[in-house]
Structure 1
Amino acid sequence: MRTTLIALLLAATVTPAAAADDRRLAPKPAPPPKQTTTTNPCAAYGPGFVQVEGGGTCVKIGGALDVGVGGSSRR
């Protein structure tokens, strides 16, 4: 009786795990790469400038981070 119960429990847990592999969806194909322009209309402004998509504006995004730490000791 105990062996039969263990066999049924084992079969009940192994069967769904094996069936889950069959239900996997095929991966979606990768989208085609976008066409890039070979000329840079913003090259006259300097390195790092790019043209805004859908417009004729040239922008360059940059930034900096400044951290200052100080302390004093009173005795």
Structure 2
Amino acid sequence: MQSSEIRNQTELGRKAELFDALLIMLQEAGSRGNSSEAAYVISGVLENLSRDYPEVKGLAQSWTELANLESKMRGAA
């Protein structure tokens, strides 16, 4: 097997692991009672995933901002 084939298989495996983690995250978020709790689940999981998958770092930051905004809005109400 050539090194490029090994890299491709490694990258595919890595993407499959990320896909599985994102699927579990969405299932867990979907089981929450409201959108605020779901946003916290998503932001927390994405934050953890961003340590191993830098490609989700921007997404993690966006969801963290969204979860914080939701919290501030609920506090102001």
TM-score after normalising by structure 1: 0.34
Q: Which has the higher contact order (CA 8 A, sep 6+)?
A: 2
Counting helix residues as a fraction of each chain, which structure ranks higher? 2
Higher strand proportion (structure 1 or 2): 1
Larger Rg: 1
